[in-house]
Amino acid sequence: MEIDKDKIVTQDEEPEPAPMDQVEDRVEAEMKEIEGRAKERVAQGLQDKELEREARELKEEGRQELDEARKREE
């Protein structure tokens, strides 16, 4: 049995990103959220309001990206 090369569809030709790429986006978003939480705790300990604000923004950005990644997977 031979493979018909005309019937092969590559991942690049598919309208959806590869499952591996979907996971990568989700992991990056989760890492942003984790990093934001960690920075926020450090900032609170140091009583650094600017760092605390940046940390909250990073955490929120990670949450938004994670929500978007989950919606794309549905």
| pLDDT per residue as tens digits for the range 40-74 | 999 889 999 999 999 999 999 999 998 888 887 77
- Domain layout of the chain by residue ranges: 18-73
Distance of CA 43 to the CA centre of its chain: 24
pLDDT at position 39 over 80:
yes
CA atoms within 13 A on the CB side of 38: 7
